[in-house]
């Protein structure tokens, strides 16, 4: 399935992998890739499968630059428009129209989701799988200006050894300035949640994060309904 994205230069189609759980869906999670890999990276495939095992519809998708065969991300505005188009498509679907819609992204994809929501995109919450707080080794260049404008709940899933968030206190301060956010630490994890001395396939690593993400979504759902 593809989704049409209206870019300033004209409409483009982006690929999506729209996969539903067995039985009734508990909601939809849109999943964006990081800067250096598309939606079919094993990490994202495994993560999505783990969420479906817990009853969620998952929608992985590509950004336009990946569809065009380029390695470097295009303008942030293009990614934001893509997020808007994907969420709109989910809400137009029978499952998406009736259930919660969460935005989730690996690194760059999560940051683009946060920017889209800060600019008005409506979702029930956001999950970042390794938020790229700053370029590695450049903590003086944080990417946080928009985060306080994000109103929905945010979960930052972060490895304690991720070079994109060192020193970790900088991330903790940024999250503390958000309206509704918390961090889930993965001890020893790097930017892709690899742990030194523990070799695991990327799909297994991704799947291992699904339970804590599903738990956070469930918790926020109970809070929203007053349970």
Per-residue pLDDT tens digits for 27-58: 999 999 999 999 999 999 999 999 999 999 99
The per-residue pLDDT for 97 is 53
Confidence category of residue 221, pLDDT binned at 50, 70, 90:
confident
- Pick from 171, 153, 159: nearest CA to 43: 159
**pLDDT of 128-145, one tens digit each?**
999 999 999 999 999 999
The per-residue pLDDT for 89 is 96
pLDDT, mean of residues 162-173: 96
Supply 139's token pair: 């903590």
Confidence category of residue 222, pLDDT binned at 50, 70, 90:
confident
E strand segments, the chain: 2-7, 10-19, 28-32, 57-61, 101-106, 125-129, 153-159, 181-186
* H or E element that contains 171: helix 168-176
The per-residue pLDDT for 227 is 58
Higher pLDDT, 195 or 227: 195
Q: Provide the b/e sequence for 169-198 (b: ≥16 CB within 10 Å).
A: ebbeebbeebeebebeebeebbbbbbbeee
- Pick from 187, 128, 188: nearest CA to 152: 128
The mean pLDDT of the chain is 94
E strand segments, 20-91: 28-32, 57-61
- In the chain, the percentage of residues whose pLDDT exceeds 70 is 96
- pLDDT at residue 166 above 90? yes
The per-residue pLDDT for 1 is 84
pLDDT, mean of residues 6-35: 95
The per-residue pLDDT for 38 is 96
Angle at alpha carbon of residue 21, lines to 182 and 187, rounded to 5°: 30
Higher pLDDT, 224 or 156: 156
């Amino acid at each position: 399935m593809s989704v049409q994205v209206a870019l300033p230069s004209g409409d483009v189609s982006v690929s999506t992998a729209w996969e539903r759980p067995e039985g009734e869906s508990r909601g939809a999670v849109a999943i964006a890739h990081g800067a250096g890999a598309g939606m079919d990276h094993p990490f994202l495939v495994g993560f999505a499968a783990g969420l479906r095992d817990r009853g969620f519809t998952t929608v992985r998708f590509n950004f336009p630059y990946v569809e065009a065969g380029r390695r470097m991300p295009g303008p942030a505005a293009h990614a934001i428009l893509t997020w808007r188009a994907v969420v709109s498509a989910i809400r137009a679907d029978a499952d998406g129209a009736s259930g919660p819609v969460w935005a989730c992204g690996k690194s760059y994809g999560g940051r683009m989701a946060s920017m889209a929501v800060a600019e008005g995109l409506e979702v029930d919450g956001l999950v970042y799988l390794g938020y790229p707080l700053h370029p590695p080794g450049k903590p003086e260049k944080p990417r946080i200006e928009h985060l306080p404008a994000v109103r929905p709940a945010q979960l930052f899933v972060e490895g304690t050894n991720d070079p994109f968030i060192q020193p970790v206190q900088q991330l903790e301060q940024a999250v503390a300035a958000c309206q509704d956010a918390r961090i889930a630490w993965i001890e020893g994890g790097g930017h892709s949640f690899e742990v030194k001395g523990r070799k695991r396939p990327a799909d297994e690593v991704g799947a291992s994060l699904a339970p804590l993400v599903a738990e956070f979504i469930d918790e926020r759902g109970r809070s929203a309904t007053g349970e």
